[in-house]
Structure formats: structure tokens, C-alpha cells
Amino acid sequence: MTIRVLVVDDSVVIRRLVVQALESDPGIEVISTAANGKLALAKVEQLRPDAVTMDIEMPELNGVEAVRELRKRGHQMPIIMFSTLTERGATATLDALSAGASDYVAKPSNVGSINESLKAVADQLIPKIRALVPGARQAPQRAAGVPVRAAVGAPPAPRTAAPRQGARRHPVRAVVLGCSTGGPEALSRVVERLTVPLPVPMLVVQHMPAVFTRQLANRLDRLGPSTVVEAEDGQALVPGGIYIAPGDTHLEVDGKAGNLRARITHGPPVNFCRPSVDVLFRSVLERIGPDLLGVILTGMGADGKAGSGAIAEAGGTIVVQDEKTSVVWGMPGVTAQAGYAHRIVPILEIGQTISALVQASAAPQEVN
């Protein structure tokens, strides 16, 4: 299928950049552009695009307000925000995600040439559009200057997966969680449904830039009884705390169960990601063994699959978000289809599931 996209931005230069970047993919057609949110509303009603790219700061009607109005009118097409890597941009982007935006990409900054800017935009935007638009497939050929990345969206058929059987009973001494596309809102649903702080630390990787992860932690901290912070190097990981990996760094751990400390590292990206879910999962598994609960929420790609497999094979427990409630069933989907997930759960039940599994693991175990 050809994916029909509406590009919305008040800057003529940025509109041209986005149009050129998208049209480097032969499977994407830019059907129109709009200079503000008000014009975008009219063009969506008229043209019914498959996807929309949306600037945040615009006259007449800004991007957050436009997203909110589109969702109010019942339009369900993916909307990808075009954001600046600033505190203000991070705040507005998280507002847009809360209003119903599907995902975001960062505007290129400190990029040397127009060709480099085009490549930066195309590398971010094209895989997300292809993953988010129902029925779209990753282009089989390489667009000019754009690398084809493996495992971008949900995996191909078959798309059903049975939960893993025979989980061993271990006390849960830490919860590790990974997510990407759709993750900020999914995390909100999890955190707000933890009715009491967990008796163990939770460590989280959300694929985001540095400024964004700090803002995300601040927002999540207001949603429930748990204390949510952006992790710092050397920080003690205490029961009841939720620790978000800082953007553009890996979150690992030192110490042992009951005395874990965060370790912030700058190793190379893994699965094209830094922070990486696999890096976190493997690090915690190495330190405390199978006494782990791993959780994979909505997200593009396959980050977390290998780490989940390692935890499951060691005897820990893996929970993944179901396909119906995932924005993209990429990360949870490949994990489930590999046979690593013990439970496949709707997002509104994951917080309760985490609490129940942690509490159950603390109960006296019968010796066989």
C-alpha cells in the first residue's frame, strides 16, 4: 500500500525538509501540507490521510491543541510530533502524547548539511510511519540514503503467541521494564495502578533523548505512591523506587540483591538503542540471578527480546503487553512469539499484575 501523509509545520523550510525525507521512500506519498493546526484540521477532514506529522509550536492552533481536537473528532490515524530537543520541547511533546499523539521525532540540530538533515529526518520518521500505519510493511528496497533497519514494526504472521509454561517460583528482588513507541502513556497507566509502592526497586528503559527522560520521570512521579526519578550514577536502588534510564546512556547495575546501585554507562547502542532494554535486563540478571520480573511494553523493534529470553531461561518471569492495547506490537510481540512471555496482559492490568507477582513471590514457598 502507498501511505498517504499530511505534513504540518509553520516553517516552509521544515515542511520542505520533511516532504523530501518522506518522499525518499517510494511507498510514501505526501498528499498535502499545512502551516498550522487550524488548517491541518480542515485538511484531515477533506483528505483523510493515513498519517500526520505535526509540529508543536504553531500559530492559530498549536500542535498539542490540534492533536486533542483531532482525537475529539474521532480521527485515529497515527500522529507523529516533530519536536525540539529542549526542556520546553520535551514538555510540549509529553503533553501531545497525553493528548493522543502516537509518537514523536526530534528536529535535526547541529547537522552540517541539508543531505545530513534529510537523512536524519528520514531515518527517524520513515520507520515510525511504517510501523504505526495499519497494514504497512517495511519497504523491501533501500530508499536513497536511508538504511533499512531490521525488525522495525510488529513481526510478520503468525501474530498469535501462547504464554510460556512452567515458570519457576523465585522471590522477585527487582522489576525491570522496557518500552518505546507508545511507552510514555503506557508507563503512566502502569504507575498509576500501583496502589502501594513495590517492596523492590523497578528499573525502566524508555527510548527517549536525555531531556525527555527527566521530564517523563517528573510526570510519572506525580501519578502514584511510588517515587519516580531519572537514575543517577552510583544511586542506591531502594524498594518502592522507580528509576528511569537517562536518555542517550545505558542503565546498568552494580552490587547484589538488596544493595543494588545504578551504573550509567556510555557504551555503543544495542539494537540501535541507547538506552537499551537488553543492556539493562542482562546487567540486572548478572547481578541478582533469576529473582527477576521482566516487563515489555509497547514499542518498535526487538530491543528487550534477547534480555527477556535470558531472564526466562534462567528461571525469572516475563510479562508483555498484549497486541490490542499496544501502539506497536514490536518489542512485546517478538518477545511473546519467541516463547519468552509467561503472561500477555492488557495495559490496564499490567500494574496490578506486577504487584501481584511481586507479592506472591514473597509468600512462603512449598518445597517439592
Question: Which 8-state DSSP code applies to residue 148?
Answer: P
Active-site residue identified among 9, 25, 207, 283: 207
Q: Dihedrals φ, ψ of 184, to 5°?
A: -55, -45
32 Cβ contact list (under 8 Å, min separation 6): 6, 7, 43, 47, 49
Beta strands in 279-352 (DSSP E): 292-296, 317-321, 343-345
Spatial separation of the C-alpha atoms in residues 318 and 176, rounded to whole Å? 10
Q: Would residue 103 show up in a list of annotated catalytic residues for this protein? A: no
Spatial separation of the C-alpha atoms in residues 362 and 293, rounded to whole Å? 13
Spatial separation of the C-alpha atoms in residues 115 and 66, rounded to whole Å? 30
Q: 3-state DSSP helix/strand/coil percent for the chain, to nearest 5?
A: 35, 20, 45
Spatial separation of the C-alpha atoms in residues 91 and 95, rounded to whole Å? 6
Active-site residue identified among 180, 188, 226, 308: 180
Q: Are 207 and 106 a contacting pair, CB within 8 Å?
A: no
Calculate the CA 366 to chain-centre distance.
Answer: 38
Q: Would residue 266 show up in a list of annotated catalytic residues for this protein? A: no
Beta strands in 156-270 (DSSP E): 174-179, 202-206, 227-230, 241-244, 250-256, 259-265
Angle between helices 347-362 and 183-192 (to 10 degrees): 50
Spatial separation of the C-alpha atoms in residues 217 and 184, rounded to whole Å? 10
Which grid coordinates belong to 349? 492490568
Active-site residue identified among 9, 103, 303, 322: 303
Q: Would residue 207 show up in a list of annotated catalytic residues for this protein? A: yes
Which grid coordinates belong to 152? 522495525
Cα dist from 112 to 30, 117, 214, 302, 335, whole Å: 26, 8, 28, 31, 38
Q: What is the CA radius of gyration of the chain?
A: 20
Active site residues: 180, 207, 303
